[in-house]
Amino acid sequence: MGDPKKPKKIYKKPGQRWEADRIKEEIKLKKEYGLSNKREIWKVSSKLRDWRSQARHIVSLQEEQRKEAEVALINKLYNLGMLEKEDHIDDILALDIRAILDRRLQSQIYKISLSNSTKQARQFILHGKVEVSGKVITAPSYLVKRADKIKLVSGFAPKIKVVIEAPKKQMEATLEKGPGGGTKPLVKTEAPAVEKTDAQVVEEAAKAATKEVIKEAKA
């Protein structure tokens, strides 16, 4: 029966351990979301299977029971930010693993620019530098709810590199995230490109052609 004090596994290992396509996808997800090992992927997959199983069970219920159970499950996933209120049971069955990985605290910290990478976000969480709705959370796998408010703990102000999207340009700014947020970003910009007139374009083309002729004559 095993040791009753030993925590029970909350995930199921893949049936085919050496399936090439699955292994390739797991490596990709592990890198993209800054996961520490494949067990984190298996845990999320188990949670997804459980929700899909609940959805299939709901489909088999009588109309009255089905409606109540469907609304309860959709509301639960809505609160987790994975569905909209107008979604249906089919939308639950259509969820994929990324829908859950995107709602992990580790992913959300990086998404709202409180860290430079998902790996750095993980370090902030493990070292107790992140608050969710006023409570310090040290689990990177915590699923962030719609109502949750995420911030770094008071007094912790790391330097965050933010990429600001501008029309046809990318500007990098370095700023300090911390209480008050009063620091101004130091923005590095390039001089705007000057649009050339038709005459300038023709003149440059003529000069280039002349140089090419002289080069060929010398050869």
Q: What is the pTM of this model?
A: 0.68
**Which of the residue ranges 2-11, 28-37, 176-185 has the most confident prediction, judged by mean pLDDT?**
28-37
Backbone torsions φ then ψ of 135, nearest 5 degrees: -120, 130
How far is residue 22's CA from residue 34's CA, in Å, rounded to a whole number? 18
- Does the pLDDT value for residue 138 go beyond 50? yes
| Residue 190: per-residue pLDDT | 44
| Residue 1: per-residue pLDDT | 46
How far is residue 86's CA from residue 121's CA, in Å, rounded to a whole number? 32
Residues 94-109: tens digit of each pLDDT? 999 999 999 999 999 9
DSSP state of 116: S
* Start-to-end CA span in the chain (Å): 89
| Residue 160: per-residue pLDDT | 83
| Residue 43: per-residue pLDDT | 93
- Does the pLDDT value for residue 28 go beyond 50? yes
For the sheet with 186-188, list strands across it: 159-166, 169-176, 186-188
How far is residue 142's CA from residue 17's CA, in Å, rounded to a whole number? 27
Task: Give the chain's domains with CATH numbers.
Answer: 20-101 (no CATH), 105-188 (3.10.290.10)
Helix pair angle (38-59, 20-32), 10° resolution: 110
Both tokens assigned to 17? 């351990």
Helix pair angle (63-79, 38-59), 10° resolution: 150
Range from 40-49, 150-159, 177-186 carrying the lowest mean pLDDT: 177-186
How far is residue 36's CA from residue 186's CA, in Å, rounded to a whole number? 33
